Amino acid sequence: MTNPAKVVIVSGGTFGIGRAITVGLAARGHDVVAFGLESAQVSSLAQAAIPSLRDELASRKLAAMLLEADVSKAADVKKVVDATMEKHGRIDAIVNNAAIGPLGTILDTDEALFERIVSVNLKGPFLLSRMAVPHMKQQGGGAIINVGSGAGWGKPNMAVYSASKGGLHALSTAMAYDFIYDRIKVNTVIPGGGGIISGMSLGRVGGDQSRLGKGAPGTAAGRVATGDDIANVIAFLLSPEAETLSGTVIDVGCFANQGGPVPPKPAA
């Protein structure tokens, strides 16, 4: 089956995993609208990403609309949706990828930080989905892909991040039920295996990329997953081959949805 070009909005689509998603979808001929913040957010090193992404796209003779917007602010999200409709006249899919992931227990997390984590990781997908779904319904269908986390089943020292991702997983399933007869597919993709480079992961190791992936179980491919691996699965979920899939969770890694870690690889 051929895979017709789709108009896709990617939140957090200018850095890390989101950047790989933006480039990967653009390379497949999709019309991508990617947005994020140019200032570094709490626990993340992602910043000033749009100029370099624009250069990368140009060097590969690709194109995407790149916008600065805060996924947790309704006015910003509306600006993105309005700009997409003005340029393309439709919205076929959204990828809810934007997230922040400060570490800590409930004792380490003050109220303001709790509210910021939930605003970005859960309210953000709610806002973008709520504004995009009416357009999808009017068109006769669409797709929502939420980037979750193995932490959504609970992980140590990730209390509020885990809670926000667990909420996103539940929201995904609820939306899959709610819009099945509108031909809107809603699925969750889980990055797994450890070592994926993102603003969040770099922020957790103080920007030292050499520390990423050490001790990580990796994947069945014999290596850790990359942003490109995530982009490949998202591209599949947008394809005609996946037209019946909704309410699913796909782990792009190592059984990340089981919560606990995969045991370390035995010594040779």
Catalytic site positions? 161
In angstroms, the CA 10 to CA 34 distance is 5
Tokens of 21: 């998603």
In angstroms, the CA 195 to CA 211 distance is 8
The gap between the terminal CA atoms of the chain, to the nearest Å, is: 44
Which of 140, 179, 166 lies closest to 249 in space, CA to CA? 166
Pairing of strands 184-191, 142-147: parallel
In angstroms, the CA 176 to CA 39 distance is 33
How wide is the angle at C-alpha 146 spanned by C-alphas 226 and 260, nearest 5°?
65
In angstroms, the CA 251 to CA 138 distance is 31
Distances (CA, A) of 66 to 77, 91, 237: 13, 16, 22
Which of 164, 153, 181, 165 lies closest to 246 in space, CA to CA? 181
In angstroms, the CA 69 to CA 73 distance is 8
Where do the H-state alpha helices sit in the chain? 16-27, 50-59, 74-88, 111-118, 124-139, 159-178, 199-204, 227-237
Helix (H, G, I), strand (E, B) or coil at 1: coil
Amino acid code (one letter) for 27: A
